[in-house]
Amino acid sequence: MAKERRPAVDFAVYGIVRLMVCLLQGIPMAWGFAFARFLGWLAYRLDKRHRQVAIENLKHAFPELQHQPQQCDQLVRACFHHFATMIIEIIYAPRKMHLYTWRNFGDLIGGEHILKGVLGQRSLLIVTAHFGNWEIAGYILGMVGIKSYAIARTLDNPYLEKFFKGFRQKTGQTILAKVGDYDKITEVLAKGGTIATLGDQDAGAKGLFVEFFHRPASTHKAVALLALEYEPMMLVIGIPRVRSPMFYHVIVQEVIDPRDYKNQPDAVRKLTERYTQAIEQLVRKYPEQYFWLHRRWKHKPPEKKKKEPAPI
C-alpha cells in the first residue's frame, strides 16, 4: 500500500531545497565545496545506519579490508564526502557548465565510441551505475548536441520531481519514467534513438542474480531483454571525478554488441554478466565514488530445494 502524500510537507521540503540551492549558487564555488566537506562529515557522523551498510558492503567487496579497519573507515568517509560533493556539483552545473565551457569540466575517454553509436544507423543503449556523478553525463551529452533519453525513477515528492527534472532536461535530455513509459522506451530503441539507464539497481527477490564483487546481486533483466530484442549498440559508461573542482572523465569502459549473444543459450544472463563486470571494473578504479550506502545485495538467490530421496 502506497504511503499517502502530504502536500504541505512536500511543498515545505521543496521550499527548503530551493532556498539552499539559491544560497549555494550565490556564493563562491570554494565555499560551496567547503560546505560539501562539512556536509559529508556530518552525514558520516549522524547516519549510523548507512555508515554500517557501507562498511559491510566494502568488506565484502574488498576482503582485505576485513583486517584493515582504519582503511575501511577512510573509504567510508570518502564515500560520504563524494556524495555530498556530487550534490553541490549538480547545484553549480547550470551556472558553470555551458556549450563553450564544458571542456573545462570533462574529457571523453573513448568518445569515438559514443560518436559512432550516435551517428550510426542502430540505436544506442548506454548503461551506467550509481558511480561518479552519473547525473552530469546526460547533462554534458545534451550540451554537445547528443539527444538522449534517460530512464529514471519518479521522485515521491512531486515538487522536487518537477524541479529536479528541469535540471536533468535543461540541455536536451528527455527523462522517461521507469514505471509507465515502457512503450516510449521501446519506441526510441525501435527508431534508432539513444537510451541511458542505470544497470546496478536491486531487482528484488525475482531478479536475475549475477556476480558483482564476489556476491550474487539481484539485477534487472530488462536491460538485456531490450538489447536482445532491438539490437542497439551497448556502451558501459562511468563518470568519475578525476580532480576538483568539477572535472570528470566520461569513460567508455565496454562496448557490447548484443547480436553476439543472439543465438547463445542463456543469452540474458551472459549479457547481464558482461555489463555488470564492466561496472565492477570502473568501481575498482575509483571505489570511493560508488554508492556503497545502498543495500545492493539486499536480496539473496532462492535456495535450491534439496531433492528428496526416492522411495525404496
The DSSP 8-state label assigned to residue 221 in this structure reads S
Q: Which domain holds residue 219?
A: 7-289
Q: Does residue 297 form part of some domain?
A: no
Query: CA-CA distance, 159 to 11, in Å (whole number)?
Result: 7
The per-residue pLDDT for 16 is 95
According to the model, what pLDDT value does residue 189 have? 96
CB 124 within 8 A of CB 232: yes
Q: What is the pLDDT of residue 117?
A: 76
- What is the tens place of the pLDDT at every residue in 237-269? 999 999 888 899 989 999 999 999 988 999 999
Query: Which residue positions in the chain have pLDDT lower than 70?
Result: 1-3, 305-312
Model-level pTM? 0.92
**Who contacts 286 (Cβ-Cβ below 8 Å, separation ≥6)?**
131, 132, 238, 240, 241
Identify the residue whose cell numbers are 515545505. Answer: 12
In a domain, 226, yes or no: yes
pLDDT in tens, 58-111: 999 999 999 999 999 999 999 999 999 999 999 999 888 888 888 888 888 877
Closest CA to 259 of 248, 270, 245: 270
What is the dihedral angle through the alpha carbons of 68, 69, 70, 72, rounded to the nearest 10 degrees?
Answer: 90
The answer to whether position 176 is within a domain reads yes
Range list of H helices, 47-157: 48-61, 69-96, 111-119, 134-143
Is 303 inside any structural domain?
no
Q: Is 133 helix (H, G, I), strand (E, B) or coil?
A: coil
Can you give the CATH number for the domain in which 263 is found? 3.40.1130
pLDDT at 107: 84
Query: Hunting for cell 546481486 — which residue is that?
Result: 217
Residue 278 has a pLDDT of: 98
First vs last Cα of the chain: how many Å apart? 49
Domains identified in the chain, total number: 1
Length of the chain: 312
User: Considering the domain boundaries, does residue 309 fall inside one?
Assistant: no
Identify whether 245 is preceded by a cis peptide bond (ω within 30 of 0).
yes
